Amino acid sequence: MRCTFESGPIRPPSEAKSLLLRCTRNCPWNKCAFCHTYKGEKFSFRTTDEIKADIARMKEIADSVREVSWRMGLAGAVTREVISAAARNPGERGEIFAVAGWLLEGPRSAFLQDADSLVMKTDELCDVLRFLRAQFPSIERVTTYARARTVAHKGVSDLKALREAGLDRIHIGMESGSDEVLKLVKKGVTAAGHAEAGGAVKAAGIELSEYWMPGLGGRALSKVHAVESAHVLNAVDPHFIRLRSIAIPPGTPLFDMWRSGEFIKPSDDEIVAEIRLFVEELDGIHSRIVSDHILNLLEEVEGVLPDDKPRILASIDRYLDLPPRDRVVFKLGRRTGRFRVLDDLTDAGARAGTEQLMDEMGVKDDQTLEEQMTTLMMRFI
Ligand code: SF4
């Protein structure tokens, strides 16, 4: 069996159970100051024939895995035992695990890679979507990343055509709704451009997921970043607002700005206060706020507006009102996987383990913790 197909490097956290289909390679913009994902990589299109050949290979693998299941007397059900039996050939294991793992999770969603699939010609992307849906009728949801400028350039009628061909949701890295911040990080789009793109996606009947990056304005633009981002989102009312707190990877322009002192990264507590202001400013919308990225300190910042806003703000206040030492313990516990939510602070075992680690690392206060956190955060980028 021939089973090689391309995969890109990333997907949104919410697409962990999705089949990953690479439609273009890398990012056609590749200039955002905070982003290291495609640095040094050249953008290129893939032909529809190449993409469809990948889908056909995935289908071939799915069929062969199910055949193994039938031979094992499991009537086509995919279990871990079936996957082990199907992946005997070491040369094919990666691809078989990718497709069989998707079958195991329930093959209901697919994600189109890489950074901006909508740069493809609309009729070609529609062709790919239709072929994907035909090969895998179990798919209920197809999503992709796209840049706001590309989306706005497509326009509502092309977006509607994509919706009809089977595109259900677009993830846009808004990052900020402040023109000052967007310019600082070379996002290549304005706040008005974000609002236009978001409006077009919604007018086409496609679900819209907007990523906001707490901390991206640095200390200097923290307030304007929170307030103006909320105002853009108030104008758009996206289905999802997803938080992904700032990280500053080495090799990015933002890293150099940070090292030179041009950019001052807010502390974790300052970022939490910034998120509070952001949530406070969200008004008149019905979005679901999602905090599903490991870089976020508080998982509790989750819920549907407007009903859950008081609870979200109360969770943030609960953290900000903790005694300073408890905040340090929580931050370290969260970053080292001992804690997930604030209630975990009452877990005596996890707390004792975290406090022991604090002693071993020489963490005494916020400043020593921030120094250690910088090193730890790099592991999750
Ligand atoms: S558009 Fe997205 S993938 Fe491209 S450089 Fe910016 S953040 Fe990175």
pLDDT grade for 372, boundaries at 50, 70 and 90: confident
Give the amino acid at 198: G
pLDDT grade for 163, boundaries at 50, 70 and 90: very high
pLDDT at 335: 87
Contact 146, 182 (CB under 8 A): no
For ligand 1, atom 2, which residue shows the shortest CA distance? 115
pLDDT at 214: 98
| Of 133-137, 148-152, 218-222, 371-375, the least confident | 371-375
Is the pLDDT reported for residue 88 higher than 90? no
pLDDT at 381: 54
Q: What is the pLDDT of residues 7-34, one digit of tens each?
A: 999 999 999 999 999 999 999 999 999 9
For ligand 1, atom 6, which residue shows the shortest CA distance? 32
Is the pLDDT reported for residue 161 higher than 60? yes
Cα distance between residue 1 and residue 245, in whole Å? 43
Secondary structure class of 259 (helix, strand, coil): helix
Q: 145: Cβ below 6 Å to ligand 1?
A: no
Domains of the chain with bracketed CATH: 1-106 (no CATH), 147-321 (3.30.750.200), 324-381 (no CATH)
Is the pLDDT reported for residue 1 higher than 50? no
Mean pLDDT of all residues in 239-244:
98
CA atoms within 13 A on the CB side of 283: 6
Is the pLDDT reported for residue 198 higher than 60? yes
Q: 218: Cβ below 6 Å to ligand 1?
A: no
Q: 173: Cβ below 6 Å to ligand 1?
A: yes
Mean pLDDT of all residues in 222-235:
98
Q: How many CB atoms lie within 10 A of CB 35?
A: 21
Per the listing, tokens 């956190």 go with 373
Q: What is the pLDDT of residues 288-314, one digit of tens each?
A: 999 988 889 999 999 999 999 999 999
pLDDT at 191: 98
- Mean pLDDT, all residues of the chain: 94
Q: How far is CA 244 from the centre of its chain?
A: 7
Closest by alpha carbon to 137, among 32, 55, 44?
Answer: 55
pLDDT grade for 367, boundaries at 50, 70 and 90: confident
Give the DSSP letter of residue 170.
Answer: E
Q: Which residues contact 229 (CB under 8 A, 6 or more apart)?
A: 174, 176, 177, 178, 212, 278
Phi-psi region of 214 (alpha: psi -120 to 50; beta: other; left: phi over 0): beta
Is the pLDDT reported for residue 56 higher than 90? yes
Number of helices (H), then strands (E), belonging to the chain: the values are 14, 10
Pocket test for ligand 1, best of 25, 26, 32 (most atoms within 8 A of CB): 32
| Of 78-82, 88-92, 118-122, 210-214, the least confident | 88-92
pTM equals 0.93
Mean pLDDT of all residues in 239-251:
95
pLDDT grade for 257, boundaries at 50, 70 and 90: very high
Secondary structure class of 47 (helix, strand, coil): coil
pLDDT at 294: 85
| Phi and psi at residue 209, to the nearest 5° | -120, 115
Pocket test for ligand 1, best of 30, 118, 150 (most atoms within 8 A of CB): 30
Cα distance between residue 55 and residue 138, in whole Å? 14
pLDDT grade for 376, boundaries at 50, 70 and 90: low
Q: What is the pLDDT of residues 316-358, one digit of tens each?
A: 999 999 999 999 999 999 988 999 999 999 999 999 999 999 9
pLDDT grade for 377, boundaries at 50, 70 and 90: low
